[in-house]
Amino acid sequence: MNTRQEQVPDKGHRGGTSMKRLHLGAGMLLLGSLYGCSCAPQPPASEAGSAPPASVQPAGSDAAATGPEDAAALAQRQAQAEAMSQAVSQLHGYLGAVGARDWSKADAYWSGGKPPPRPDDYPVRALEDMQALRIRNERPQPLDNELPSRAVEVPVQLRVTLDSGASRQLVGWYRLRRKVDGSGWEITSASLQPRID
């Protein structure tokens, strides 16, 4: 299922985690000064054999990457997440046009600017008395080994409400691929079947 999670700051604590770290750091400094701080002089950093001081990054932060490989991996994960989000948005735009019965707009979402002669998602496009369409999708599944992916399959569950008030459920998937010019996604195929409870 496609869900978004947002972090909401805790309004009851001003400063949150940063303030806790500040208090913890100050407490450790105080304890170190009271209980056996070694006051032996430290050799200057310019002496041979001395190593530069290690930098400390907060745990769990993006800055905690240990090298260019980690930064590249992070960039790939972010690009993949953005690509998946764009593909799902494209599919929702298409299904919105289908629900509105705007066929010229809906057809433009297909590869080549038109669906096959008998659309792969015929069960939803053929409903003449559709009043509402509810879309629920699962996480897109990459169909290739590219990062970011250039082809995905998006599992869907559609709930169609008819003018009579009756509802139908359709389950299946849509396959999308990134356009050659990289300007977005297009639908290449689909498979939908009625769900009988």
Q: Which of 59-63, 122-126, 193-197 has the lowest mean pLDDT?
A: 59-63
| Mean pLDDT of the chain, nearest integer | 73
Do 102 and 126 contact (CB within 8 A), yes or no?
Answer: no
Confidence at residue 173, expressed as pLDDT on a 0 to 100 scale: 96
Confidence category of residue 65, pLDDT binned at 50, 70, 90? low
Residue 54 lies in a domain: no
Output the DSSP codes for 41-64. PPPPTTSTTPPPPPP---TTSGGG
Residue 55 lies in a domain: no
The CA radius of gyration of the chain, in Å to the nearest whole number, is: 27
Measure Cα distances from 52 to 55, 57, 146 in Å: 9, 16, 39
Residue 85 lies in a domain: yes
Residue 16 lies in a domain: no
Q: What is the mean pLDDT of residues 41-65?
A: 45
Residue 47 lies in a domain: no
CB atoms within 10 A of CB 157: 16
| Per-residue model confidence as pLDDT tens digits over 10-27 | 334 444 443 333 333 444
The total of structural domains in the chain comes to 1
Residues with Cβ within 8 Å of residue 103, at least 6 apart in sequence: 97
Which domain CATH number covers 160? 3.10.450.50
In whole angstroms, give the CA distance from residue 31 to residue 25: 10
* DSSP structural state of residue 2: -
Q: What is the mean pLDDT of residues 6-12?
A: 36
How crowded is the C-beta side of 68, counted as CA atoms within 13 Å?
0
Confidence category of residue 64, pLDDT binned at 50, 70, 90? low
Confidence at residue 89, expressed as pLDDT on a 0 to 100 scale: 93
Handedness of CA 65, 4, 144, 181 (dihedral sign): negative
Residue 86 lies in a domain: yes
Confidence at residue 151, expressed as pLDDT on a 0 to 100 scale: 93
Any idea which residue has 């699962």 for tokens?
138
| Per-residue model confidence as pLDDT tens digits over 75-127 | 888 888 888 999 999 999 999 999 998 999 999 999 988 888 787 888 888 88
Confidence category of residue 2, pLDDT binned at 50, 70, 90? very low
pLDDT at 182 over 70: yes
- Nearest in space to 151 (alpha carbons), one of 134, 135, 183, 174: 174
Residue 137 lies in a domain: yes
Chain-centre distance of CA 44, in angstroms? Answer: 48
Residue 66 lies in a domain: no
Residue-range definition of the domain harbouring residue 130 = 71-194
- Nearest in space to 124 (alpha carbons), one of 114, 135, 113: 135
